[in-house]
Amino acid sequence: MVHGSVKAAIGHSEMDLTDELVALSLRNEIDPGPDPLRIPITDAELDALAERLYRESQGDALWIFAYGSLIWKPDFDAVEARVGAIKGWHRSFCLRMTRWRGSQTQPGLMLALKRGGYCKAVAFRLDDGDRLGQIRRMLRREIGTLEDAATIRWVRVQTDQGPVRALVFWADPKGSYVTAKLPLEAVAGILARACGARGSCAEYLYLTVKHLEAWGIRDLNLWRLQKLVAGELKAIHELEAWQTRPAS
């Protein structure tokens, strides 16, 4: 169990993106399997990477900096959580994907960290009982190829209780699956339409913004993006605004 209370949501602002709109973005999609153009990481390579990160983490508590889905769908056992921020990085929907929350016919976009700016999120301290095992579990979830391993970094997170050194995934990704900087309107058009075997990109955005708000964190770009995606979904399904508001 994570110790420490979750902060109240900021102000009284309601998200434009709602459960009802997100439901419209979901559809059944068949998992096409791994991209044949990308070489999967082997068990031996994953074990070696886990061992290296384990050695690098020795002497300190093991913290994970969660800025996206790890906030609301963690794959580790945390015993403490703090709001924290890192300088020199910002969230960006820049990872093009044709699996999980996208398809070959309608590719999606997922979050990563790109250089520059500032990112406020949640730092989780892991239970030390099975540190190596927990690192392996996270790698299985986050890393599909050896190329992806280059996106794992140690970052310095500033928290109200002092700085901590934390592991972060998908920082400064490179390759053909990384998009050039897109305007938010273009990103919103993609997120509103993409869906894969694990759900839709609109759902991913909704859950991320909702949980950031619950921690008292408002990412202004994501807040604007959820409004744009809500507008896209209404236009796609020809809905009036009153039709998508929950009854009071």
- Candidates 154, 16, 31; CA nearest to 102 is 31
Nearest-10 crossing angle of helices 184-193, 201-214: 110
Beta-carbon contacts of residue 105 (< 8 Å; ≥ 6 apart): none
- Catalytic pick among 45, 80, 142, 147: 142
Residues 114/94, Cβ–Cβ less than 8 Å: yes
Torsion of CA 119, 120, 124, 125, to 10 degrees: 80
Structure tokens at 178: 């990384």
Specify the residue for token string 């970052």.
Answer: 155
Cβ count near 211 (within 10 Å): 18
- Catalytic residue status for 142: yes
- Candidates 40, 41, 50, 43; CA nearest to 136 is 50
Quote the CA–CA distance of 120 and 118 in Å, as a whole number. Answer: 7
Q: Which residues are catalytic?
A: 142
